[in-house]
Amino acid sequence: MPLKSSRILLIVGGGIAAYKALDLVRRLRERGASVRAVLTQAGAQFVTPLSLAALSGQSVHQDLFSLTDEAEMGHIELSRDADLVIVAPATADLLAKAANGLANDLASTLLLATDKRVLAAPAMNLRMWLHPATRRNVATLRGDGMLFVGPDDGEMACGEYGPGRMAEPLTIVAAAEAALKTQTAIPLPLGVGVRPGATDLPLKGRRVVITSGPTHEPIDPVRYIANRSSGKQGHAIARAAAAAGAEVVLISGPVSVPDPVGVAVTHVETAREMLAAVEGALPADVYIGAAAVADWRVGSAQAQKLKKGASAPPALGLVENPDILATVAGRKSGRPGLVVGFAAETNDVIAHAQQKLARKGCDLIVANDVSPATGVMGGDRNTVHLVGPTGVESWPDLPKDEVAARLVAHLGKLLSGAP
Ligand code: CTP
């Protein structure tokens, strides 16, 4: 959606940077967006509700329990009646509340209740920004899908120098524009929030088996071979498939992302355990191999810890793992109607994916460039190409949630026989 016709909910937290939020309102409105502002109690120490109301042209919301506000627009409606939520300045306190799901004032309640993307522009003292607690909170929020712009390095109001200055209003506007381009409501898990009888569930009645994350292949009891897969993309697909009405079985390698709600999850470590879990979960209508399965394992993993000794370092003696995707795609009986693989490539992405499609006998390959410069492995965004037998469809750079939602919609169409 273009910024021009968008509705922005702007949450102004308490920090010296709040004065820049006033300019942000102007910049957004100049570009045709409508802005509804929420001012925290601390924010009101820095800017007045009157300035925000005058600049936004709308009344300013401050109180969770305001009878007048609730009569006009309840806080749930306020959180949904926007295309994007911007938090500027996003203070350490607001981020901590959001990361922990607290809802003890209007701003934190809105952040918990919204079904839209949230773009945060942090602003705080550099030690607060660099504190491990804030680092943890930001990492959690990124994992939950929150978008960030800034903070910038610079001179602080307190006289110190470093990261913590809020991004400039025009930079926030550019980030908002980018966020709106890929804006969709964040899906809820299976059956939740869905009206009985809803018909817009593209995977309703379908069983979907998905693998996600890396595998760990033991060398000895304390060491293993692994890869950089985070499981974010596979888990996002599991959430999206459940939200689209499917019965989802997720078979996950060792990851630190949480189990999706409304999905049956089996945790495994090795490629061979993953294959056994997949075979146990079939039959299914759709198989999606999003896991980065280790191609090799150590032929004879040691039962006891390998010790450094006088002799040369041990040779690992790798042997090939079973190819789970090719095994599922090649099943003589009980092959899922749609078998979808991923291709993690660092060069010639589409050509390699086309070869993989043929070699593994699957119906669709989701190809992505996982070169370190792309930040895909472990990151929150992905640029994929859908490689099928009849052609290639390339999608723009998107949040992994959005890739998941689009993929699920695409699979729904394929299953219904649509062209
Ligand atoms: N895959 C699998 N079992 C394996 C290896 C890969 O099921 N032992 C699946 C992955 O889940 C993914 C697809 O195959 O859906 C492609 O994985 P990728 O690592 O890109 O390809 P490889 O088959 O490992 O080929 P190469 O390493 O040569 O790129």
**Residue 17 pLDDT:** 95
* Residue that wins the pLDDT comparison between 297 and 315: 297
**Residue 183 pLDDT:** 52
Q: Is 295 in the pocket of ligand 1 (CB under 6 A)?
A: yes
Q: Is 271 in the pocket of ligand 1 (CB under 6 A)?
A: yes
292 CA distance to ligand 1 middle (Å): 7
Task: Say yes or no: 155 and 255 in one domain.
Answer: no
**What pLDDT digit, counting tens, does each position of 212-242 carry?**
999 999 999 999 999 999 999 999 999 999 9
Q: Nearest C-alpha to atom 9 of ligand 1 is from which residue? A: 325
**Residue 159 pLDDT:** 79
**Residue 310 pLDDT:** 65
Task: Say yes or no: 398 and 346 in one domain.
Answer: yes
Burial string for 348-361 (b: 16+ CB within 10 Å, else e) reads: ebbebbbebbeebb
**Residue 392 pLDDT:** 95
Task: Say yes or no: 109 and 156 in one domain.
Answer: yes
Is residue 315 within 8 Å of 202, Cβ to Cβ?
no
Q: What mean pLDDT is predicted for residues 22-51? A: 96
Domain end residue (candidates: 131, 166, 181): 181
Task: Say yes or no: 320 and 279 in one domain.
Answer: yes
**What pLDDT digit, counting tens, does each position of 240-295 carry?**
999 899 999 999 999 998 888 788 999 999 999 999 999 999 999 999 999 999 99
Task: Say yes or no: 280 and 369 in one domain.
Answer: yes
Percent of the chain with pLDDT strictly greater than 90: 73
Distance of CA 242 to the CA centre of its chain: 15
- The verdict on residue 14 lying in a domain is yes
Q: Is the dihedral of CA 231, 122, 383, 243 positive or negative?
A: positive
Task: At 231, list the tokens.
Answer: 């499981």
- The verdict on residue 191 lying in a domain is no
**Residue 295 pLDDT:** 96
**pLDDT category, 156, cuts 50, 70, 90?**
confident
Task: At 204, list the tokens.
Answer: 């309703």
- The verdict on residue 408 lying in a domain is yes
Task: Say yes or no: 153 and 230 in one domain.
Answer: no
**pLDDT category, 376, cuts 50, 70, 90?**
confident
The set of catalytic residues is: 158
393 CA distance to ligand 1 middle (Å): 20
Task: Say yes or no: 176 and 267 in one domain.
Answer: no
**Residue 73 pLDDT:** 66
- The verdict on residue 188 lying in a domain is no
pTM greater than 0.75 (yes/no): no
In ligand 1, which atom is closest to the CA atom of 320?
A: 8
Average the pLDDT over each of 104-113, 175-184, 203-212 and give the range with the smallest value.
Answer: 175-184
* Residue that wins the pLDDT comparison between 214 and 380: 214
Task: Say yes or no: 58 and 138 in one domain.
Answer: yes
> Which domain range does residue 99 map to?
3-181
Q: Determine the 3-state secondary structure of 151 from DSSP.
A: coil
Q: Is 324 in the pocket of ligand 1 (CB under 6 A)?
A: yes
Give CA separation, 74 vs 56, 65, 68, 325, in Å: 19, 10, 9, 49
- The verdict on residue 197 lying in a domain is no
**pLDDT over 90 (residue 195):** no
Residues 6+ apart with CB under 8 A from 98: 108, 111, 112, 118, 137, 141, 146
- The verdict on residue 63 lying in a domain is yes
**Residue 387 pLDDT:** 96
**Residue 314 pLDDT:** 86
Task: Say yes or no: 241 and 318 in one domain.
Answer: yes
Class of residue 194 by CB neighbours under 10 A (exposed 0-12, middle 13-18, buried 19+): middle
**pLDDT over 80 (residue 190):** no
Burial string for 218-234 (b: 16+ CB within 10 Å, else e) reads: bbeeebbbbbebbbbbb
What is the pairing mode between strands 7-12 and 34-39? parallel
Domain end residue (candidates: 181, 196, 215): 181
Distance of CA 253 to the CA centre of its chain: 18
Q: Is 287 in the pocket of ligand 1 (CB under 6 A)?
A: no
Task: Say yes or no: 262 and 399 in one domain.
Answer: yes
- Say which amino acid occupies 43: G
**pLDDT over 80 (residue 70):** no
Closest CA to 118 of 167, 77, 85, 166: 85
**pLDDT over 90 (residue 184):** no
Please give the Cα distance from 351 to 334 (Å, whole number). 30
**Residue 162 pLDDT:** 82
Domain end residue (candidates: 137, 163, 181): 181
Our count of domains for the chain comes to: 2
274 CA distance to ligand 1 middle (Å): 13
- The verdict on residue 348 lying in a domain is yes
**pLDDT category, 188, cuts 50, 70, 90?**
low
Is residue 35 within 8 Å of 184, Cβ to Cβ?
no
Count other C-beta atoms under 10 Å from residue 385's C-beta.
19
**Residue 262 pLDDT:** 82
Q: What mean pLDDT is predicted for residues 394-398? A: 92
CATH of the domain at 346: 3.40.50.10300
**pLDDT over 70 (residue 199):** no
**pLDDT category, 196, cuts 50, 70, 90?**
low
CATH of the domain at 48: 3.40.50.1950
Which of 293, 355, 357, 376 has the most ligand 1 atoms within 8 A of CB, as the residue to mutate? 293
- The verdict on residue 198 lying in a domain is no
Q: What mean pLDDT is predicted for residues 185-191? A: 55
Task: Say yes or no: 89 and 232 in one domain.
Answer: no
What is the pairing mode between strands 152-155 and 147-148? unpaired
**Residue 260 pLDDT:** 85
Q: Is 90 in the pocket of ligand 1 (CB under 6 A)?
A: no
**What pLDDT digit, counting tens, does each position of 88-144 carry?**
999 999 999 999 999 999 999 999 999 889 999 999 999 999 999 999 999 999 988
**Residue 75 pLDDT:** 74
Task: Say yes or no: 304 and 172 in one domain.
Answer: no
Residue listed under structure tokens 């669709």:
364
